[in-house]
Structure 1
Amino acid sequence: MTKMVSAFIVILAVAHLAVSGKISKHDYGYDYFDEEFYGYEEMPVEEELTPQFQTSPSKLKVSLGGTARLVCEVKDLGPNTISWRKVDGNESSESVFVAVGPTLLTTDPRFQVSLSDHGSTLQIILVQQKDEGDYQCQVFSHPPVYLTHSLSIKKSPNVTILGRPESGVLSLMEGEELALICQGEGDPEPRMFWHRKNQRLADGNRQIEGDQLIYTRVSRKHSGEYVCTGDNGFGAPAEASIIVQVQYTPCVSLEANYIHHLHTNTQLELICYALGFPTPLIQWEGLDGVPRASNLHFNIRKGKEILLINDISTVVNRTISCAASNTLGKSQESFTTKGND
């Protein structure tokens, strides 16, 4: 009986409100109270802003043992949290979180993280080779946003001459092509140069820039020690060298000098210059029957041989030849004496 009375009272109250216009019927079959009756005002909904990075992605190069500072500044950060993670460069492309908010997730004491009202800074001291890689600054918004900094370690240059024989000596035949290629490594990438030790290059230049040195047809003038240099401004420049030997048949020239003395016999000096590679063997021809004891003196020097004939009368009207030979051939020059002048 009590429940029926309570229900009847509620019906009367609703009817009264409907009559007074304080409640209206909705087409969907349920009622709602008039906003004016309850003093309700619609509140504006604050638009949620998406965080935007004020820092651009960067490629940071530091020296081994130096300090790396990775900065991440965000506009409209709001209550969102910034995290740092390192993305491995291996095939698995795994990533490891380094810090979330002010909390470091690594036990490596070289890592530090600091926060500001608009960003986060990850600092790595005493940088090691293993610290190289990509570091992502991520904001836990909806959706999440992130930017990536790349950290690389400066490396001193290193150069290698491709195809260099273990002996360090490259032998070519005259007329063949010479192609020297030098591979340089380092961070930053080194600038490459070629020069010839203790002499200019065959074209007269002191050096050329580039990793390749090519001559389509070589001659004896291309022989020498070639040096490749790599320099990236970090550490000492790196060098590698190779000795180029151009093989050619001997080339001979002969010089004759009469030496006159007032009270003694006239002497004849013959100087034989012989060039070639392999180094040629010098022989004198046309001296058969000429007295040798105290008359013929041979002085061998690098690239030449000197024959001194003390008594010119022993070789009057005689043709004397200097012959030079190696595995590639033979060449000679001759001189005919005239006797006492």
Structure 2
Amino acid sequence: MGDEGGGGIEDVVSSEVRYEGGIESGQTASENTGASLSSLWTFSTISQDRYDEHELLPYFQDYVNTTNITVQLGSTANLNCRVKRLKDKTVSWVRRDGDNIKLLTWGLHTYSNDARYALNFEHPNNWKLQIKYTQRRDKGNYECQISTHPPTVYPVRLNVVAPVVVIIDERGESVHEKFYKKGSTIELKCTISQMPQAQTFILWRHGDHMLNYDTSRGGISVKTDMSGSVIVSTLFIAKAGHRDSGNYTCSLGDVATGSVMVHVLNGEQPAAMQHGSGTKDHMCCLLTLVIFCLTLLLLLHLR
């Protein structure tokens, strides 16, 4: 903003250089000097008036056409609004929904009935709107306004996303039920995607019992890979027993949860796992029986 004022000053200097060039035809040196100084004084006055007028106006330090902010469901959204040269003007935050405008803050005061909204001023010039425990309904268009005439507006678009938690099998497909033999190692893997903010607080539970820091049973460990855009957390339970059967959940705080039902069996194959091979065995038995019957009928007929 201040560069424009600087440009005016440079123009004045440039004007001085131009008038030092020489005497136009039909003018004396004194006439030329007087005309030059008169023109320079007029130009300087106009430029300085524009510069001073511009200097009186507040402006947004980080202004862009629209600022997009993406936050995770349940987290805190901070909408920054840094204002320069505010002087006697006032900053306010509003929420815009089409032609409907709802006042949220005015100066340092909050006018929203929703206690999650607050003006959190940061020295020296950040009139930051803070929204705690963001919900899906908080998604939308917000404006930081300066009380000029007309108001100077800084638009912000807030997006609220919910992480997706999925428990997967060995093929990477979603699974809701898993079977293990007694004495084997239970291995449950969950993936967490669509996380705009880094998060490491991933909990595994067996029923209501948290497993991440369980030392009473032994043989339980959790490995979490945060290296990619999708977080992968794996739960290991060694020497599975019947007491390890039940519902397991992988959760990201209270925001998103995935679950799977685990069955620990005494070596027998569950029906769900036998479905494919069991059907084949059944068909083989039927085919063998049909061939035996046909052979028997053929032998009887030959007699």
Q: TM-score, normalised by structure 1?
A: 0.34
Q: Per residue, is there more helix in 1 or in 2?
A: 2
Which one has more relative contact order, counting CA pairs under 8 Å at least 6 apart?
Answer: 2
Pair member with larger Rg: 1
Q: TM-score, normalised by structure 2?
A: 0.38
